[in-house]
Amino acid sequence: MLPATGQAIVDLVSPDIEEAYDRATGGRDEKVTAVWETPRRGLYHPVRAIPRSEQHRFRYFLDGSTKTYFIGTVLEHERSSPVQIAQVGAAMVRRQDDGQPHVADVQHKILLMLDKQALSQQLWEGVAAAVAQAPGFELRSTSDDQDRFSQALGVIEPRSRGAHRANWAMREMEVALAKDVARPEDAWLISDGSLGNEYLDWRGAPVVGVAKSFRRDTLFNLGSGPRAVQLNLYSLLVGLEVGQRTAVFPRWQGEAREGKMLFWYVRIRPQKGLDYPLMGVVKVEIPNASREPIDSDVVDVLSGCLIAERCVTPHGRDSRWHAHLYPISIAERVIKDRFYSEEVLKAAIRWPALGVQL
């Protein structure tokens, strides 16, 4: 039993969306049987914090945000569909040598979401034509098969699908920014969250994903013979001290894409004083087009630079404060500052009189 030693935490009906997507992209039963770094093979490695003044490795930081609102139900004879709107955005922050952050790019749009399969083609086309005349708005179907978040959770309830559809739209905007914003070859980007399949064949400037939430059912079967080690994720991370990283592992096993995405864990905050033993740990992912083992010294440097980025504690603003990186927190504030307030959204919605036929 790993107790949540702090006060009871409100649990959600659905698991964290990043954790669910990490589980979906990593396979149903992720079992790690290999270490993918060289020359070192140990399970834990000490790293030291490397401040920006010593080595300015990470210069770009990417995050997204979304807010979804249920605003009503559209009725078409015997058919019906929830009507939802969502504010979706993504922001990339560039940090200069003197430490000053600047907005490299930001995108923001409002989604109108309906269940296309529940409505007639005539009504859908009429709504699409009206939305096309409104700049900054986009019509999306909550039954879109491209929504991998809903697929990962098996969501079928229309309103829940709408919220996940908005999150997937945010994901698409983040990936587009990572690809489209020009960066020097030595300017690394940190993307908030798991990279997933969208970065498998990455060919741009270097990028790492730093996930505050990640799957917890990964099993580690390492080595053979009397030195074989069998661990679950909790057993692995309970021995991870602050200022340490784990070995590097391949994302998939025994597949044609094995070694194309690598991951490891870094503890950026001590366990003492935290509510749960896994708090204070981030999961780091990096594309690996060569599929060759990564150099251990490179992983040490990346991990040390990450530890130096931790100095933010947004208590009360985010339950995952223990795994926040300061520049990512800035990027999150940039996009949320672009969102309209709920009062503005409510004031902008004008309903026709009841009984009006659409």
pLDDT at 26 over 70: no
Instruction: Place 13 in a pLDDT band, splitting at 50, 70 and 90.
Output: very low
Q: Give me the mean pLDDT over the 262-285 stretch.
A: 86
pLDDT at 78 over 50: yes
What SS3 state is found at 221?
A: strand
Structure tokens at 217: 């059912």
In the block, residue with structure tokens 């991998």 = 148
pLDDT at 150 over 80: no
Alpha-helical (H) ranges within the chain are: 17-26, 121-132, 148-153, 158-180, 233-238, 296-307, 326-338, 342-348
Determine what percent of the chain is predicted with pLDDT higher than 70. 84
Query: On the CB side of 261, how many CA atoms lie within 13 Å of its CA?
Result: 23
Q: Give me the mean pLDDT over the 116-125 stretch.
A: 91
Query: Nearest-CA neighbor of 60 among 331, 352, 262, 283?
Result: 331
Average pLDDT of the chain is: 84
Determine what percent of the chain is predicted with pLDDT higher than 90. 42
DSSP string, 73-131: EEEETTEEEEEEEEEEEEEEEEE-TTS-EEEEEEEEEEEEEE-GGGS-HHHHHHHHHHH
Which is more confidently placed, 24 or 344? 344
Measured distance CA(292)–CA(38) in Å, rounded: 9
Q: Where are the domains of the chain?
A: 17-348
Instruction: Give the per-residue pLDDT at 288.
Output: 92
The tens digit of pLDDT for each residue in 186-225 reads 899 999 988 888 888 888 889 999 998 888 888 998 887 7
Q: Give me the mean pLDDT over the 144-167 stretch.
A: 73
Instruction: Give the per-residue pLDDT at 9.
Output: 47
